[in-house]
Amino acid sequence: MQQANPIMLSFILRRVLYTVPIMLGVSLVCFALVHISPGDPLVSILPPDASVELQEQMMAIYGFDKSYPEQFLRWLGLALQGDLGNSIASGRPVASEVLNAVGNTLVLAVTATIIGFTLGGLFGFVAGYFRDSWIDKLATAISVVGVSVPHYWLGMVMVIIFSVELRWLPATGAGPGGSSQWVWDWEHMQYLILPAVTMSVIPMGIVARTVRALVADILQQEFVSGLRAKGLLDRGVLAHVIKNAAPTALAVMGLQLGYLLGGSILIETVFSWPGTGFLLGQAIFQRDLPLLQGTILVLAMFFVILNLLVDVAQTSLDPRLQRG
């Protein structure tokens, strides 16, 4: 890589600084979640016949007797120290529950992104290269199906085909050891196949669409005809096309990973995959607001940071900015 130039550095610095108010805003939204929910937040903790003194005591412990700005600052301060409160249902710290689950969600989302990116990139590339051929039409159809299919239903259909009818793969869970002991062996990986393949359909459709448009666009640019005129063979042209399409395609992949991390709740529910989505499902089902709030905060922060990384990576890969 070339030496970073001042323009690029200042862009990156501004981009990093810009993330601070966004993170603050995101945490404000997460804080507000508990307060838009109807009903007294203490109802689920206290027994119905709790005395007034006990109620007031609990209000003070949880800080509900303070004003909203005070509560927000207190909550934010604790969250920055890694304290997201305790789950109402299990009584355990939310932070450790989320941390346990995040690993499993990452395993699922990263695998799905890799499958989706590889297949989508391939389909999109072939479609863009042989534009308007039958391959193009097929790839376009696949990408439309990919973005239109309700993935939770696709997950059910996969379970019906491969678990119920064929009995090839397990339907739910993450293998022996449950949620805490993920290992990359067949014993565990067979549980990953169905949810990961189901999940990969979303980025596949979007990546295929993007790459197709990119490739078709690049092939129409003058430098390609220039390369061809110079007598460069198809394979050489191909390398140039890949080089030019890669930064955008990788950026799309990064964003898709973020969407999958945040949007995995439906697929994790279908497959009972012990990740953050499953945790969210439980939080909703049991109206465990601290757990809901904490999980959403962590996932949204992941998304913000991933967005930042994608932007920075894309800037440093952009040849126009590298030259200054």
Q: Say whether residue 211 binds other proteins (CB under 8 A).
A: no
Residue owning tokens 């003070």: 60
Which range of residues in 63-71, 215-223, 235-243, 280-288 is near other proteins by CB under 8 A?
280-288
Q: Say whether residue 162 binds other proteins (CB under 8 A).
A: no
CA distance 22 to 4: 26
- Closer residue to other proteins (CB): 11 or 259: 259
CA distance 191 to 187: 8
- # of chain residues touching other proteins (CB under 8 A): 51
Q: Which of 1, 17, 20, 38 binds other proteins (CB under 8 A)?
A: 38
- Closer residue to other proteins (CB): 153 or 223: 153
* Least distance to other proteins, CB of residue 150, Å: 5
Backbone φ, ψ for residue 88 (5° rounding): -70, -40
Which range of residues in 20-28, 86-94, 111-119, 227-235 is near other proteins by CB under 8 A?
20-28
CA distance 19 to 22: 5
- Closer residue to other proteins (CB): 175 or 263: 263
Torsion (CA) 234, 239, 242, 243 in degrees, nearest 10: -140
Sign, CA dihedral 172-269-306-244, equals: positive
Residue owning tokens 């949810």: 195
Q: Say whether residue 157 binds other proteins (CB under 8 A).
A: yes
- Closer residue to other proteins (CB): 13 or 33: 33
271: exposed, middle or buried (Cβ count in 10 Å: 0-12, 13-18, 19+): buried
Residue owning tokens 């439906």: 266
Q: Say whether residue 292 binds other proteins (CB under 8 A).
A: yes
Q: Say whether residue 112 binds other proteins (CB under 8 A).
A: no
Given a contact cutoff of 8 angstroms between Cβ atoms, the answer to whether 305 and 30 are in contact is no
Q: Would you state the structure tokens that stand for residue 96, as one six-digit string?
A: 């450790």
Residues that bind other proteins (CB under 8 A): 21-22, 25-26, 28-30, 33-34, 36-38, 144-145, 147-154, 156-157, 159-160, 164-165, 258-259, 261-263, 265-266, 269-270, 280-281, 283-285, 287, 289, 292, 296, 299-300, 303-304, 307
